[in-house]
């Protein structure tokens, strides 16, 4: 099977829609690694992106795909925690948008239920990365969604997978491939380029 992995979108809806349309009908599974919202570079980018992501997950065949899995990202978590804590300052400072929150109300329960990781074949899909040398079943959700340096700086993460993640923008602003990991975050909200990878599972 072939998986189309899609990295951080951040409300960059028009390029995202083009990726979905261009790859439809190719017998693909999709895995999206989170951060669908915040820092949107186009009007209504957040809500349009979440509408499409949810549509893909709930009815992938309608869009020309075999299956679709959407993971949570730290920006989804940050927004939801802001609602729970009734403190929106941190979220707004990180690209949150009051109008987007209003628009996303019908999706909040769905967003809150998104998984933190997905395994397909030899690949582990997460938003941010993993705590090196900690078995998957012992990983903290906080690390899977938020981790940076301990994962990025590790020569080996020590898990029996190739890990596919976003979260940290690559220095090259392109998808970067390494022996045990692939980084998908290409800074979509300012480059207009959403990182993708085709993977044979």
Sheet holding 28-32, edge to edge: 67-70, 28-32, 2-6, 196-200
Alpha-carbon distance of 196 to 184, in angstroms, equals: 6
Please state, in angstroms and rounded to a whole number, the distance separating the CA atoms of residues 135 and 95.
33
For the chain, list the domains and their CATH numbers.
2-200 (3.60.21.10)
pLDDT mean by block of 10 residues, the chain; 201 residues = 98 98 98 98 98 98 98 98 96 96 98 98 98 98 98 97 98 98 98 98 91
Cα–Cα distance measured from residue 146 to residue 148, given in angstroms and rounded to the nearest whole number: 7
Q: What is the pLDDT of residues 147-167, one digit of tens each?
A: 999 999 999 999 999 999 999
How big is the chain, counted in residues? 201
Q: What local confidence, expressed as pLDDT, does residue 100 receive?
A: 96
* pTM score of the predicted model: 0.97
Nearest to 50 by CA among 65, 66, 72, 18: 72
Q: Which residue has 């392109």 as its token pair? A: 174
Model pLDDT for residues 124-143, shown as the tens digit of each residue? 999 999 999 999 999 999 99
Do 114 and 68 meet the contact criterion of CB atoms below 8 Å apart? no
Token pair belonging to 42? 């186009």
């Amino acid at each position: 099977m072939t998986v189309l992995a899609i990295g951080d979108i951040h409300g960059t809806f028009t390029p995202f829609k083009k990726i979905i349309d261009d790859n439809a009908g190719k017998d693909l599974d999709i895995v999206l690694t989170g951060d669908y919202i915040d820092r949107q570079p186009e009007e209504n980018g957040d809500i349009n992106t979440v509408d499409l992501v949810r549509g893909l997950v709930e009815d992938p065949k309608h869009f020309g795909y075999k299956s679709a899995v959407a993971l949570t990202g730290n920006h989804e978590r940050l927004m939801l925690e802001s609602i729970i804590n009734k403190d929106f300052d941190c979220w707004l400072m990180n690209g949150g948008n009051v109008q987007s929150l209003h628009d996303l109300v019908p999706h909040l329960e769905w967003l809150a239920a998104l998984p933190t990781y997905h395994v397909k074949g030899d690949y582990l899909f997460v938003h941010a990365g993993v705590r090196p040398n900690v078995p998957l079943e012992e990983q903290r959700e906080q690390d899977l969604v938020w981790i940076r340096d301990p994962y990025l700086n590790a020569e080996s993460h020590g898990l029996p997978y190739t890990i596919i993640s976003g979260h940290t923008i690559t220095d090259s602003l392109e998808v970067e491939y390494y022996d045990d990991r692939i980084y998908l975050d290409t800074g979509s909200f300012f480059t207009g380029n959403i990182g993708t990878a085709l993977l044979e599972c």
